[in-house]
Amino acid sequence: MTAQLRNPVLSGFNPDPSIVRVGDDYYLATSTFEYLPGLPIYHSTDLVEWNLIGHVAVTPDHLAVHDVPTGGGAWAPTLRYHNQQFWLAVTDAMGRGTLIFTAGHPSGPWSAGTPVPGVNGIDPDLAWDSDGTCYMTYSALRLTGDGVGSHDGIEQVRINPTTGETLCDPYPVWSGTGLMFPEAPHLYQHEGWWYLLIAEGGTERGHSVSISRGTSPAGPFEGAPTNPILSARSTARPVQNTGHGDLVLGPDGQWLFYLLGMRTHGGTRSFSPRGRETFVTTARWVDGWLEVDPVELTDPQSGAFSDDFMSPTFPLQWLGLRALPADLAHRSAGHLTLRGDGAGMSDAHATFVGIRLMHLDTHTSVEVDTSAGIGGLSMRYDEAHHYSVEARGNQVIARACVATLSQEWSIERPAGTTRVWMTTRAVTPGFAAMSCDEVILGVDGPHGPIELAVVDGRFLSAESTCSFTGRVIGVYCESGEVSFQNFSYTGSGN
């Protein structure tokens, strides 16, 4: 089985994975930040093929993301199975706070989410000891109160997970080796020891994984002599920023570590256009300590997604910006219709629905009818960084927005429906090609495809935007009513 493992496990914008095994089934959850539906659940029986089976947050009340700043929202879930029930703990950052969701099956429906007001931090973990006591261990980054923004290491508290009541005052536990930003704690019991696994070093190039152990789930904890047990920093490995992971036992008895990482590109491998993705590597217990192998890429993977909008319901791949896709758009008889209120893609509340961009070499296209509005196709990292091909009146406008800078290219177009498209193309790295890729913005004219602009892709990467998500490509409406047909995405390349 381990020889068949594929990396990445989940391509494009799938950070902070948490995994649980129930019998022969494996379920995995990742972060979604300001997008809805939130907290996708993936399923596999062989750890090779993964299918998206649902989301935890499928109503606007599950996560209060409508007014959170970019980068807020659903942070770092922990997915567990206890007493014949699935549990998911998560931080709704700058929204509802620390929450616990429950479900009989991970495809849903999930509960409304129970707040845990006594926890002021992020990345909550859930673990139960033999007498049923539930421990929530978390990273004490303060999101509320007088100390907003301060970080007090890793803390723990005993809770009633059904009511969200804390049963004692939070107390500090092991906070790593002294590297910055200890986070992503997970607590495990193995062969008589309790192990506390954390990430530290920040989620950037210094990201790493460290582990400690004690005889009680509350500690005291002793750090491993080989910490950090995993890091790609200062290496030439193709997957960088490795950290924030979760352990699971594979079907052949092999321990596996699911974690986030970033595929870097460019002459100095400085840019990660797909953001933080989910990867897997092998692990083992040696003399009472965990050893984790470096993450390796497998063969390049290709993929495709298309939507003819014939079904009234959205496929699970679609995401809405701070709102559910069904609340932003209407599907009927092969058309997707969006209505805009004047908020363009530079607005935090743009009327935008899209899918994760999963590959380095891609082509995305859609037919757009703007006879009653303004809109088009957009590749979004956040409201300050996005590229678009927009139909407006008798023009098609290619637009690149990078922070406070914006540039446009335009041509006239005939009336009626227009097919607009974007292509991403990897650049060959070298001293003359330091970027990760090119983004070609185009439109189909009467005599074939027309390239309106070729723009540098590095500005829509995690390192340039400093956003926690990844590229999301889809359709938007700035004003009036815009109709779309035949959305198509293809991609390839590691």
Active-site entry in 183, 367, 369, 390 = 183
C-alpha distances in angstroms, 30 versus 9, 14, 42, 303, 390?
A: 12, 6, 9, 20, 32
- The DSSP symbol for 10 reads B
Instruction: For the chain, report the end-to-end CA distance as a whole number of angstroms.
Output: 22
Catalytic annotation present for 296: no
**Kind of pairing between the strands at 437-445 and 418-426:** antiparallel
Q: Encoding tokens for residue 144?
A: 């509320």
**Are 139 and 176 within 8 A, CB to CB?**
no
C-alpha distances in angstroms, 185 versus 243, 351, 371?
A: 11, 36, 52
Burial class (CB in 10 A: 0-12, 13-18, 19+), 90: buried
Q: What is the DSSP string of 143-210?
A: -SSTTTT-EEEEEEEEEETTTTEESS--EE----SS-S--EEEEEEEETTEEEEEEEES-SSTT-EEE
Q: Look at the block and give the residue holding tokens 């879930």.
A: 77
Catalytic annotation present for 16: yes
Q: Look at the block and give the residue holding tokens 């300590």.
A: 289
**Are 490 and 296 within 8 A, CB to CB?**
no
**Are 344 and 478 within 8 A, CB to CB?**
yes
**Are 10 and 258 within 8 A, CB to CB?**
no
Q: How far apart are CA 157 and CA 139, in angstroms?
A: 12
**Kind of pairing between the strands at 289-292 and 329-332:** unpaired
Q: How far apart are CA 11 and CA 147, in angstroms?
A: 36
Q: Which of 388, 400, 454, 462 lies closest to 427 in space, CA to CA?
A: 454
Q: How far apart are CA 93 and CA 71, in angstroms?
A: 9
- Give the catalytic positions in this structure: 16, 183
